[in-house]
Structure 1
Amino acid sequence: MIEFQQITKRYDQRKEPFFALNQVSLSIPDGSITGILGQSGAGKSTLLRLINGLVRPTSGKVLIDGQEIQQLKDAQLRPIRHQMSMIFQHFNLFATKTVYQNIAIALQAVGVPKDQHQKRITKVLNEVGLPHKIDSYPSQLSGGEKQRVGIARALITEPKYLLCDEITSALDPKSAKEILELLRRIHQERKLTIVFITHQIEAVMALCQEVILMEEGAVIHRSSTLDLFLHIDNPTTATYLKAVIYDVQIEHDNVYQLIYVGKILQEDSILSHMIRTFHVDVNIIHAKVLLIGEEHLGYLYLQIIGDKQSQAITYLREQGILVHALENQRFLEKKS
Structure 2
Amino acid sequence: MKNEFVTLNHIQTHVITYGDPFNCNGKDVIVCITGNPGIPDFYIEFADELHKSTGLPLCIIGHAGHDVVPDEASSILKGQEHLFDLDGQIKHKLQLIDSYVDKQSKLHLIGHSIGSWLILELLKDNENLTMRLKSVNLLFPTLQKMAETRNGKFLNGFLRNLHNFVLLLFVLVHLLPSVIVKFLIAIYLKVYALPSHYSEYILKFLNPNVGEKVLFLAYNEMDRVKSLNVEAINKIKHLTNVIYSKTDNWAPISYMEDLYKYQPELTMKQVDIDHAFVLKSSETTAEMVMQFIKTKL
Higher strand share: 1
With normalisation by structure 1, the TM-score equals 0.26
With normalisation by structure 2, the TM-score equals 0.29
Higher helix share: 2
